[in-house]
Structure 1
Amino acid sequence: MKKRLLFIMPSLAAGGGEKSLINLLSRMDYEKYEIDLFLFNHDGIFLELLPEKVNILPINDTLEKFSLPLFRSLSTLSINRNYSLLYNRFKYALQNRGFKNTSVKEQMNWRHLSESIPVLDKEYDVAIGFLEKTSTYFCVDKVKAKKKIGWIHIDYDHLGMDPEFDNGYFASLDHIVTVSEECAAILKRRFPTHENKIEVIYNIVSPKLITKMADMEEDVLENGPYKKINILSVGRLHHQKGFDLSIKACRRLVDKGYPICWHIIGEGEERGRLTDLIHENNLENHFKLLGLKSNPYPYMKQADIYVQTSMFEGKSIAIDEAKILNKPIVVTDFSTARDQIENGVTGIIVAKKPEDIASGLEKLLTNEELKSRLQYNLSYENLGTESEINKIYALCD
């Protein structure tokens, strides 16, 4: 008899956690597991990549009404005389304005959002909240399962969350999974009473698949008649990714006469601010926001250099993918950077300052021997992590 598994995720919009889930579900053994997926929002660029055998659960009617824009939600709930939920929706809106920290806001909002979600009828062998915060809270509060697992994809200390709030939920989990040794060490320091529950499972990446997808398109980074050096970054347009630093570093390099074009694949709430910053620095011909790409690998393959200017990360899937495609890499010194890059051997690690990012890039732009050495070292690394699926099977058995 197949084991019944439930994965919980906010949506399948572009992001490292979402891509990690798609990679995982693409490797699961559907002869052994019957898999349901609960999404709070049925949209996202990765929906089309979801394996056919994954069953997406319908959104509950009250959750759908609760999730409408404020006035439509209040009106609909009022018409239906659902006054308890109406009160919670109003409190939810007020609380959204009261917290500047989005992570704490999400924690505090759960008590109101959860009122719109009944406990799922179906019972599972294993339920997995595949992203920190709401997905994990749902797993604990709204699912009947013999075993419950929470997944943390980020450096916990940089989220600014209330650990006391999470501590109560972590107590109800059988396992807490994270994506790197450094992330695990941070969680163990922060939650010592749950140390024995914390496990490391790396994001699943497949060199064979990435290499194949990288060859699906040609000339995606053409930029006019003049040959430019193409730099690429991948990530959500969010403060965490440090793209404001990228723009300022780009300006420094252009001022020195380097013929570069820096491309960003991703979308997010900072698009407007970043567009303004590009304009202020007169970089419209040198810094491009490309939006979302369901297949970023042709862009990555055709780029000359890959750069990650993050403030913090758990374990960046994009860096692993750039390594697989043998790209010279520059990354900022976020806490988990050394889990993925050996400075001067497989990439260059720099401080989170525009001048240092520009300096790191300049080394690659002027030193072909260094660039070739980094690529040579990457070519000998074993970068596939498909075998991590066996750790997931072990947790589910």
Structure 2
Amino acid sequence: MKKILFLIHDLGQGGAEKVLVNLVNNMDHTKFDITVMTLFDYGENKQFLHPKVKYKTWCKKMVPGNSQLMKFLSPKRLHKLIIREKYDIEIAYLEGPCARVISGCTDPTVRLVSWIHIEQHTAKRAAQSFRSIAEAKKCYRKFQKIICVSKTVQKDFQRVLGIKASHEVLYNTNESNKIIQLSEEIIHDIKFDTNKINLVGVGKLLKNKGFDRLLRIEKRLLDEQYPICLSILGDGIQKTELQKYVQDNKMNEKVKFLGYQLNPYKYVAKCDLFVCASYAEGFSTAATEALIVGTPVCTVEVSGMKEMLGENNEYGLVVENNEEALYQGIKKLLDAPELLKHYKKKAKERGKMFSTEKTVNAVQNMLLSL
């Protein structure tokens, strides 16, 4: 049995945190002795870990500016301080501090894996949790395998840092059957107006998720008398700003802030169109889940979307990553009910690509090959 450590910053409401829990819960526990370790003991997803998955943490409370503070110690000292047990494979499941810690392992018998979730775009950004670009390159060269969540992320990472380690693309794990089952739950807290086209966006309410431009698009479409409503699932530091925009523009009846939901699927499944307005993504968990429950997707072009929806928009609509293009894309679907119906059918078809079994087996085969 291989002893595996997954290190992640925390188990908050982000996509990487959710798919890690999905992955470890569904791995073969007769072949893998799995420990999930967080740098900080925080997050809603901790409660969903399978009882057979061991959980450890380094710090009980989140420390402000932690990635900067950790730079005072070398990767070797950090590893000695944080990872106190012997494992066969150590996995940094997020870029930055986790990769820096795991790269400090000095035991040549331990296999090291780094998971890259988002495009870095520049070497400076890829190295922001390291002392320098040179240190980032040195640390990432320590890994036997670098896993990227999409081909776009892989190409970007190779371009900005030029690491020669073995690279592989492995898609995120979603609990497809569970998602479908949960999507059928009855909604008691709100009622969707079936006479309206119901749009939905899901994610942390942060600037890079683009909810501000989605609200501006919503206002334009409402001004043009389109019969639409928008539901936003998620929480975050931008919430007050977004709510103020809605109130100032008298859109309270047309925009619902539903907060962070343990079961977002029942809401997404009842909506007519999932919209991703993000400035950057890795391989969008929320968009994948929308496909699984059969909700059509309209998205700006961010990492992984063309892999997910097809180079020629076979399974959903991908537009240029700007506000005007997204407005035109949503409008195109609102003006063509048959096209929206077509994408609903194609969403269900594409959702089958992301079955739990396929994605978990791919990860297990990679780990056994190290």
Q: Under a length normalisation based on structure 2, what TM-score does the superposition of the two structures give?
A: 0.87
List aligned pairs for 1:278-293, cutoff 5 A. 278-293=246-261
State the match for 1:154 in structure 2.
Answer: 118
Number of residue pairs the alignment of both structures matches: 355
Matched, 1:244 2:208: no
TM-superposition CA deviations, 1:351-371 (whole Å, max 9, x none)? 334333232222222211111
Determine which of 347, 352, 358 is the counterpart of 1:387: 358
User: Aligned partners of 2:47, 2:168: CA distance in 1, in Å?
Assistant: 30
Distance of aligned partners of 1:143 and 1:49 in 2 relative to their CA distance in 1, 3 Å threshold: farther
Query: Aligned pair 1:138/2:138, yes or no?
Result: no
CA–CA distance in 1 between the matches of 2:106 and 2:177? 36
Are the structure 2 counterparts of residues 376 and 184 from structure 1 closer, same or farther at C-alpha, using a change threshold of 3 Å?
same
Q: How large is the RMSD of aligned CA atoms in angstroms? A: 2.5
Of 153-162 and 8-17, the range deviating more from structure 2: 153-162
How has the CA–CA distance of structure 1 residues 229 and 124 changed in structure 2, closer, same or farther, with 3 Å as cutoff? Answer: same
2:156 aligns to what? 186
1:378 corresponds to: 347
| Structure possessing the higher radius of gyration over alpha carbons | 1
Please give the residue correspondences for 1:335-346 in structure 2 after superposition, counting only pairs within 5 Å: 335-342=303-310, 343-346=312-315
| Cα separation, 2, equivalents of 1:155 and 1:266 | 22
Distance in 2, Cα, partners of 1:4 & 1:344: 42
Answer whether contact 2:40 2:57 (CA < 8 A) is retained.
no
Contact 2:96/2:126 (<8 A) preserved: no
Give the aligned residue type for 1:281.
Answer: N
SS in 2 for 1:380: helix
Query: What does residue 122 of structure 1 align with?
Result: 85
Distance in 1, matches of 2:45 and 2:82, equals 27
Q: Is 1:198 matched up with 2:167?
A: yes
Q: Is the 8 A contact 1:119 1:142 kept in 2?
A: no
CA distance in 1, matches of 2:135, 2:258: 38
Q: Does residue 228 of structure 2 align to residue 260 of structure 1?
A: yes
Q: 1:358 to 1:170 in 2, by over 3 A?
A: same
The secondary structure found in structure 1 opposite 2:33 is: strand
> Which amino acid letter does the alignment assign opposite residue 389 of structure 1?
V
How far off its partner does 1:200 sit?
A: 0.8
Partner of 2:263: 295
CA contact (8 A) 2:16 2:117 kept: yes
Query: Counterpart of 1:175?
Result: 145
The farther-off stretch of 340-349 and 286-295 is 340-349
Determine if contact 2:297/2:347 at 8 Å carries over to the other structure: no
Q: Give the unaligned 5+ runs of structure 2.
A: 128-132
SS of aligned partner of 1:392: helix
CA distance, structure 2, for counterparts of residue 142 and residue 272 of structure 1: 43
Listed one character per residue, the Cα deviations across residues 144-190 of structure 1 (whole Å, up to 9, x for unaligned) are 56111110111121782334332111111111111011111112222
The equivalent residue for 1:233 is 201
8 Å Cα contact 2:319/2:325 also seen in 1: yes
Counterpart residue identity of residue 152, structure 1: I
- Between 348-357 and 327-336, the greater mean CA deviation after superposition: 348-357
Q: Tell me how far apart the structure 2 counterparts of residues 277 and 265 of structure 1 sit (CA, whole Å).
A: 17
Superposed displacement of residue 220, structure 1: 5.4
**In the TM superposition, what is the alpha-carbon distance from 1:119 to its structure 2 partner?**
4.4
* Residue in structure 1 matched with residue 177 of structure 2 by the alignment: 208
Deviations 1:9-68 (A, max 9, x none): 111111110111011012111112211121122221212211111111243xxx458x55
Question: 1: distance between equivalents of 2:166 and 2:294?
Answer: 35
Q: Deviations over 1:86-128 (max 9, x none)?
A: xxxxxxxxxx5xxxxxxxx94x443137778714331000111
Kept after mapping to 1: 8 A contact 2:192/2:198:
no
Query: Which one of 313, 326, 333 corresponds to residue 357 of structure 1?
Result: 326
Structure 2 distance, partners of 1:281, 1:356, is: 22
State the SS of the aligned residue for 1:128: strand
8 A contact 1:220–1:298 mirrored in 2:
no
The code of the aligned residue for 1:352 comes to N
8 Å CA contact retained: 2:140, 2:163: no
Q: Do the aligned residues in 2 keep the contact of 1:233 with 1:263 (CA within 8 Å)?
A: yes
Unaligned 5+ residue runs, structure 1? Answer: 70-95, 97-104
Distance 1:281 1:311, change over 3 A: same
Q: How much identity, in percent, do the aligned residues show?
A: 26
1:233, distance to aligned residue in structure 2 (A): 0.8
Hey, what does 2:240 align to over in structure 1? 272
CA contact (8 A) 1:123 1:143 kept: no
1:310 aligns to 2:278 (yes or no): yes
TM-score normalised by structure 1 residue count: 0.82
Structure 1 match to 2:300: 332
- Which residue in the other structure is 1:27 paired with? 26
> Cα distance 1:142–1:179, how it changes in 2: closer, same or farther (>3 A)?
same
SS at match of 1:263: strand
